Structures are given as structure tokens and as C-alpha cells.
Structure 1
């Protein structure tokens, strides 16, 4: 099962999943437009289309919360990870757009 976690609830999800990472699957121009500042978590950026080729760079034993612009791409990546042996996977519902509204208004919306 893939958890759906709102940005405002991410800290609680991370606290319940020690060692978790946030996987940002947006493209480089999107990262330049708006980025998350990791606070109490590790942030890894791998564009969605590169995840299959770089899967070995991720530890399937570590919980992963996936992030994109609105939550659709990150959900696809979360499903892919779950299908490839990742035990604890979440989708950050609403993506970085919701992040800006719920967590950090300094993150630009695009």
C-alpha cells in the first residue's frame, strides 16, 4: 500500500519511518524553479524517467516519500518502487504546489 501524505503531515510520517528519504522526481528546470529545503530529512532528486536506470542508487529498505509538482508523477514512481521491492513508500499528495501552500510559502508556485 502506498501512503498518501499531505505536506503538512510529512513530519509525522517521517517520524514514524526513521531513515526515510524524500525523493523529488521532478525535472531539472522544475528544481530550478522551486525546491524544497530539507529540514530533518534527506532529499534525493532523480527525475522520474531516470528512476528505473538509477534504482540501484536507492535502498529498498529505507522508507521513501515521493514528491513532484502536483502528485501524479510521484504516485507513479511510488507504485514503481513498491512493485520493485521497496517496503515503505508514500506519495506526497499535492506535490510541491501543496508544499508551498501548506508547509513553506517561500517555495515559489509554478
Structure 2
């Protein structure tokens, strides 16, 4: 099935509709402390291999980072680990801040 891309606009629509999903932030602790999308689950990229069992396998998982590179690597790992409904957030939190929620600080 593969990892699908998801735009920030589509994520916002999903959230507004009440769609159940996991929003997985794979950035470092200091990045998350500075800026994050409300309602996220935080597992730093370097710990996903140890902690992916904390994620449900019956909900879509939208993975995000700063711009989308780390999150794509994590999403591909999760696919290999058996997760099926995976999305990489296009543009990451940078796109979220510039296109959806300007109150989220940019860095």
C-alpha cells in the first residue's frame, strides 16, 4: 500500500471532521517544546524503533517533523514494521504554521 502523502489542508479537514487518527511528532524534545500541533503523540525519531509498539495499528497514523524528511523515514520504518494506514505530512510543521495555524512558531 505504501506511505501516502497528506497535505496540511487535508489534515485540518480530518481534524475538523473529528476523524480518529494518531498525529505522530518525531522531532527532538527541544523542537516539540518550541512548536507543536495540538493533540500530537511524541516519539523522537531515534526512539521509534524501540517504542513503535505504543502506537495503535487500527487508526491512521500521520507522521510529521519539521519539513517532512524525517517523518517519511519513520513512516517507511512503520510500514516495514507492519503498520498499514500511514501518511507523511507534506511540509511538516513548517507548512502547518505557514498555511494553517500562524500561532505555531516557525524555526
Give TM-score, length-normalised by structure 2: 0.89
Corresponding position of 1:5: 6
**Superposed CA RMSD:** 1.9
In 2, distance between residues paired with 1:30 and 1:59? 24
Give how far 1:12 is off: 3.8
In structure 1, distance between residues paired with 2:15 and 2:60: 9
Q: Which ranges in structure 1 are unaligned for 5 or more consecutive residues?
A: none
The corresponding residue for 1:94 is: 91
Q: 1:108 to 1:45 in 2, by over 3 A?
A: same
**Any conservation in 2 of the 1:4–1:90 contact (CA below 8 Å)?**
yes
- The separation in 1 between residues aligned to 2:21 and 2:94, in whole angstroms, is 21
Q: Which residue of 2 aligns with 1:27?
A: 28
- Structure with greater helix share of residues: 2
Q: Residue deviations 1:33-69, cap 9 Å, x none?
A: 111123xxxx210000000100111122221000100
Runs of 4+ in 1 over 4 A off after TM superposition: 13-16
Q: 1:88 deviation in Å?
A: 0.3
- The 5 Å alignment of 1:48-59 reads 48-59=45-56
Match in the other structure for 1:76? 73
Kept in 2, the 8 Å contact 1:63–1:86? The answer is: no
